[in-house]
Amino acid sequence: MKNIDTIGHVTGKSVYLDDIPTISGTLHAAIVGSAVAHGRIVKVDLAEALKLDGVEKIIMYNDIPGENQIGGIIEDETLLAEHEVHYQGQPIAVVVAQTERIARKAAQLVRIDYEELEPVTDPRVAKEKGLLLIPPRTFSMGNPDEVWNKCKFVVEDRVEIGGQEHLYIETQGAYAYPVEGGYIKVHSSTQGPTAVQKTVARVLGLPMNLIEVDVVRLGGGFGGKEDQASGFAAMAALAAHLTGKPVKLVLPRHDDMRMTGKRHPYSGDFRIGLTDDLKILAFETTLYQNGGAAADLSPAIMERTLFHSTGSYFIPNTRVTVYSCKTNLPPNTAFRGFGGPQGMFVIESAIAKAAETIGVNAIEIQRANLLNENDEFQYGQKAENVNAHKCFALASEKFNLDNLRKSIDNYNLNNRYSKRGLAVMPLCFGISFTNTSMNQARALVHIYQDGSVAVSTGAIEMGQGVNTKMAQVASILLGIDINRVKIYSTNTTRVANTSPTAASSGADLNGNALRIAIAPLKKRLLKVASEILECSEDELNIENETVTRSGQPTPLKWNELVKKAHLKRVALTENGHYATPVIYFDKTNEKGHPFAYHVYGTGIVTVTLDCIRGTYTIDDVYIVHDFGNSINPLIDLGQVEGAVVQGIGWVTLEELAFDPKGRLLSNSLSTYKVPDIHFAPKSIQCIPLPTTGPDLAVLRSKAIGEPPFMYGIAAYFAIQNAVKAFNPSHRIQFNSPLTPEKVLMQLYQGGSV
């Protein structure tokens, strides 16, 4: 089954926000962002801008009829700055004009005087100054302090982890228009239509039932539009509300890069203790999350870092603390993995450091500590249906890991200025929003008289193929051709109170809601069929568009059945509600059962390093991944490939640079490098682990969106291993991203070469 969007995408017919036909009289908005990262606004002069022909209005905080507040978890973020600014690019005013060009030009003519204040960009400095977004949290199990002296090896180090720009192809934006009586319709490029609805209602001082949010699809979100689309939608809606006209706001790439938050950089200290036989007995780490100027999703991201800080391993004595630090960067936000990658980078760093100190390959430590059935995580949940060892073993066998290692050793013996490296990344990622209440979804199904089916869910299509999966679920469960199923846009008037499509659980949550909506529809239809065929309902089913009796086709076809059901006045609409069972979490003791299940896998990455230039190529990626019983292997494989390349980019090329004044230097595509087709691995081979899949996954097909991102971490350590092959005095550095510049320095440091 191909993605239902494929043809539309390659022929350019798929509709994104900017393709929605505009209503005549539509105005365009541009944002005036702060020029400084921290300061007081002394004076705002709009005169020059207002003089420009075509400018309709310039909106400031005091024009807001409702609350000037967009904070989701914590109410600490204004829509438009009032007297102080806390990051460069922070929105201060919205210019509304007849064309986009005029709006942007006028935005440049707005004169703002600032009294500059000292910015903080380093999370450790913020922590020292007491600048925390929320109090620190600690997850622990056992007691590391009691066992350090029982460890044969204890090593410690510091780790720096960089952030990441989402670089979704479609920038943030929204199109809003007044309908009547205060009712506003908003098209938004958002992963969270309900969050947009709530934020717009709040800013306008209106009830949620006067705000309709509609989303056809996104040109990528990657977490960047889980929360941060709301502010931009609110600006468009505010402008529409105040002018009484349709208003479109689409961020230029440069504004998007400057104004929006990114993956959180983290800084940390770790200590790890191992026994003689390489068992990790104790692990302790303190991490400083660079949250940016407002909380945004940082508290939830911090939580996932705590959950995933022991990676794919069982560590009986663990203590992990995270400080969420307030700095003068744009509020950092959700990004594929949601704090998990940072947590896992730290434990993998600790293992690499231990391996280097002991003089073994990190793979031996990884293998010796993989999770086993019923092992307890530091958050109280027991590992069930653990596939950590299975994936590791299958990857070793299928990709002939021992031979791979030998051939790389041989290569390194025979080549002086070119070295190869390999590293393995075992994966364990928890599926569910860590905030239990968010694990709910709804679906609305209409069967029309002609037998065509319309499905609305809370899921947002952002390229990950969730609409195809929803269509598959409907077609499989109703027993009809997928071409009969239309997936409607995600709209708050059809499906209310949605969680954002995030945490990789879009397909699970919405697919299960869809299953629940379909069950009674099918039951009613089979009852009608039993009346027509004069037999018991229990014998009947619908397969291939035909009613079957004890597995044999009857003359009754799907469209005939639907027509008859309608004439018999049977309801052909259903609404399904799903809430993930089993899960809970108790924050008072930081224990519970937060995840429906875990996704496992093992990734192997090999690289070749040019030891003259410090540049490297990513050669091969070998993965065994636990898909469960995938309902769409093609889409899932695409997700693996995309995620892994994005993960490799995070730890290699993608370097965010801010100057000491907190201004983003890597603010364009010429200064921020993401993997392109030349940098992408020469090959990515991915073998599915044969399993039946867990009950709580949609049709036992496991969540796929985020987990494979973390295989990319192996690229970091593979490159470090190649550096060591060239420069034996090199000690592994834990400072991501590992750009070619850094590698070049490392190759020649220590003077032994």
Q: Could you list the residues that contact ligand MOS (CB under 6 A)?
A: 191, 221, 223, 226, 334-336, 338, 502-503, 706
The residues near 529 (Cβ < 8 Å, ≥ 6 apart) are 537, 540, 542, 547, 554, 556, 561
CA–CA dist 700, 691 (Å, integer):
10
CA–CA dist 613, 616 (Å, integer):
9
Q: Of the two residues 399 and 711, which places its CB atom closer to ligand MOS in the complex?
A: 711
Tell me: does residue 502 bind ligand LUZ (CB under 6 A): yes
Tokens, residue 491: 């709209």
Encoded amino acid at 415, one letter: N
Tell me: does residue 338 bind ligand LUZ (CB under 6 A): yes
Do the beta carbons of residue 273 and residue 147 sit within 8 Å? yes
Site for ligand MTE in 118-147 (CB under 6 A): none
Q: Is 706 a catalytic residue?
A: yes
Phi, psi of 473, rounded to the nearest 5 degrees? -60, -45
Q: Cα dist. 513→32, 197, 439, 580 in Å?
A: 42, 21, 11, 10
Q: Of the two residues 328 and 505, which places its CB atom closer to ligand MTE in the complex?
A: 505
CA–CA dist 312, 213 (Å, integer):
39
Q: Cα dist. 174→170, 247, 250, 432 in Å?
A: 11, 8, 6, 28
Q: Of the two residues 119 and 511, which places its CB atom closer to ligand MTE in the complex?
A: 511
Tell me: does residue 264 bind ligand LUZ (CB under 6 A): no
Site for ligand LUZ in 197-226 (CB under 6 A): 226
User: Least separation, in Å, of the C-beta of 219 and ligand MTE?
Assistant: 8
Nearest alpha carbon to residue 266 among 282, 286, 283, 284 = 286
User: Least separation, in Å, of the C-beta of 255 and ligand LUZ?
Assistant: 24
Among 33, 178, 223, 421, binds ligand MTE (CB under 6 A): 223
Q: What angle do CA 90, 93, 97 make, to 5 degrees?
A: 130
User: Least separation, in Å, of the C-beta of 366 and ligand LUZ?
Assistant: 24
Tell me: does residue 501 bind ligand MTE (CB under 6 A): yes
Tell me: does residue 256 bind ligand MTE (CB under 6 A): no
Q: H or E stretch including 683?
A: strand 683-688
The residues near 531 (Cβ < 8 Å, ≥ 6 apart) are 568
β-bridge pairing 153-161 and 266-274: antiparallel
Scanning 12-20, 154-162, 236-244, 504-512 for contacts with ligand MTE by CB under 6 A, the matching segment is: 504-512
CA–CA dist 328, 37 (Å, integer):
6
Scanning 137-145, 381-389, 482-490, 502-510 for contacts with ligand MTE by CB under 6 A, the matching segment is: 502-510
User: Least separation, in Å, of the C-beta of 220 and ligand MTE?
Assistant: 4
Q: DSSP assignment, residue 535? A: S
User: Least separation, in Å, of the C-beta of 636 and ligand MOS?
Assistant: 16
Task: Find the DSSP H helices in 244-387.
Answer: 253-259, 298-307, 340-358, 362-368
Do the beta carbons of residue 418 and residue 612 sit within 8 Å? no
> Binding partner of residue 304 among ligand MTE, ligand LUZ, ligand MOS, none, CB under 5 to 8 Å per kind?
ligand LUZ
Q: Of the two residues 355 and 441, which places its CB atom closer to ligand MTE in the complex?
A: 441
Nearest alpha carbon to residue 95 among 50, 48, 45 = 50
Q: Which of 165, 348, 461, 706 is catalytic?
A: 706
Q: Of the two residues 242 and 686, which places its CB atom closer to ligand MTE in the complex?
A: 686
Contact mark string toward ligand LUZ, 418..457, x via CB under 6 A: ---------------xxx--x-------------------
> Binding partner of residue 715 among ligand LUZ, ligand MTE, ligand MOS, none, CB under 5 to 8 Å per kind?
none
Q: Of the two residues 352 and 503, which places its CB atom closer to ligand LUZ in the complex?
A: 503
- Judged on CB neighbours under 10 Å (0-12, 13-18, 19+), 567 is exposed
Sequence-distant contacts of 100-106: CB under 8 A, at least 24 apart: 100/28, 100/30, 100/248, 100/250, 102/28, 102/52, 102/53, 102/54, 102/55, 103/27, 103/28, 103/29, 103/30, 103/55, 104/30, 104/252, 105/52, 106/30, 106/49, 106/50, 106/52, 106/55, 106/58
Contact mark string toward ligand MTE, 307..346, x via CB under 6 A: -----------------------------x----------
User: Least separation, in Å, of the C-beta of 380 and ligand MOS?
Assistant: 23
User: Least separation, in Å, of the C-beta of 224 and ligand MTE?
Assistant: 8
> Binding partner of residue 462 among ligand LUZ, ligand MOS, ligand MTE, none, CB under 5 to 8 Å per kind?
ligand MTE
Do the beta carbons of residue 144 and residue 273 sit within 8 Å? yes
> Binding partner of residue 220 among ligand MOS, ligand LUZ, ligand MTE, none, CB under 5 to 8 Å per kind?
ligand MTE
Tell me: does residue 505 bind ligand MTE (CB under 6 A): yes
Q: H or E stretch including 528?
A: helix 506-533
Q: Of the two residues 502 and 562, which places its CB atom closer to ligand MTE in the complex?
A: 502
Tell me: does residue 466 bind ligand MTE (CB under 6 A): yes
User: Least separation, in Å, of the C-beta of 477 and ligand MOS?
Assistant: 26
Q: Of the two residues 96 and 509, which places its CB atom closer to ligand LUZ in the complex?
A: 509
Do the beta carbons of residue 241 and residue 178 sit within 8 Å? yes
Annotated catalytic residues are: 706
Contact residues: ligand LUZ, CB under 6 A: 226, 297, 300, 304, 334, 338, 433-435, 438, 502-503
Residue numbers at the binding site for ligand MTE (CB under 6 A): 220-223, 336, 462-464, 466, 501-507, 639, 642, 703-706
